C-alpha cells in the first residue's frame, strides 16, 4: 500500500521532469482555466488603466506592460504544469502571476497595491473582499503561499530527477 502511494505521488513529478505534457479534459479543470483567463484579462485591464495615470505613465510604458504580461503568462503556464491550479482559487493564481511579474519592475509593489485597491473598489468580476480585516499584507501572504506551493513542486521534481 505504501509503494502504491509512493508511485502515485511521483507520477506527476516524473511527467514534469520528462517535460511530458498531458492534458486531462474535465469540466472542472476547464472552468478553472476559463476563470483564470477572465481574471487575467480583468487584472490586465486595470493595469492598463493604472498605466494611464500621471503617477505611473512613465513607468508603465507599452514595452513594460508587454514584459509584465509575458512574465505573468509564463508564470501561469508554470502553475499549469503543477497541481497547484487545482488546489488554489484561480483569482489567487492570477494575482500571484501579476504580483510576481510586477515585482520585477520599478515601483512594482506600489503598482500592485494600486491595482488591488482598484479591484477592491471597482465593479469588476474579480472583486477583492472589502472588509475591515482586509490588508494588502494578508493578500500578499496568500499569494506567497501560491509561490511556495509552486516552488515546493519544483523542488520535489528536482530531488526526484538527478
d(CA 45, CA 83): 28
d(CA 75, CA 156): 18
d(CA 62, CA 66): 6
Assess whether pLDDT exceeds 70 at residue 47. yes
Annotate 58-69 with b (16+ C-beta within 10 A) or e (fewer).
eebeeebbeebb
Assess whether pLDDT exceeds 80 at residue 161. no
- Max mean pLDDT among 4-8, 88-92, 122-126 falls in 88-92
More confident residue, 162 or 134: 134
Assess whether pLDDT exceeds 80 at residue 45. yes
Q: What confidence score (pLDDT) does residue 158 get?
A: 65
Q: What is the pTM of this model?
A: 0.73
Assess whether pLDDT exceeds 90 at residue 71. yes
- 102 within 8 A of 44, measured Cβ to Cβ: no
Q: What confidence score (pLDDT) does residue 24 get?
A: 62
Residue 126: name the closest of 31, 32, 38 by CA. 38
Assess whether pLDDT exceeds 90 at residue 79. no
Q: Which letter does DSSP use for residue 124 in this model?
A: -
* DSSP assignment string, 109-120: HHHHHHHHHHHH
Amino acid at each position: 500500500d505504501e509503494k502504491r502511494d509512493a508511485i502515485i505521488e511521483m507520477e506527476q513529478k516524473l511527467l514534469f521532469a520528462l517535460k511530458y505534457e498531458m492534458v486531462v479534459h474535465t469540466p472542472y479543470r476547464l472552468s478553472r482555466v476559463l476563470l483564470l483567463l477572465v481574471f487575467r484579462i480583468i487584472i490586465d485591464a486595470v493595469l492598463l488603466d493604472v498605466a494611464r495615470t500621471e503617477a505611473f505613465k512613465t513607468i508603465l510604458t507599452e514595452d513594460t506592460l508587454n514584459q509584465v504580461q509575458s512574465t505573468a503568462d509564463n508564470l501561469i503556464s508554470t502553475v499549469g504544469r503543477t497541481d497547484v491550479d487545482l488546489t488554489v482559487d484561480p483569482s489567487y493564481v492570477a494575482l500571484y502571476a501579476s504580483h510576481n511579474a510586477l515585482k520585477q519592475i520599478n515601483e512594482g509593489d506600489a503598482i500592485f497595491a494600486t491595482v488591488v485597491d482598484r479591484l477592491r473598489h471597482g465593479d469588476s468580476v474579480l472583486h477583492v473582499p472589502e472588509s475591515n480585516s482586509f490588508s494588502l499584507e494578508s493578500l500578499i501572504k496568500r499569494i506567497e503561499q501560491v509561490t511556495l506551493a509552486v516552488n515546493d513542486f519544483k523542488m520535489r521534481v528536482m530531488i526526484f530527477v538527478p
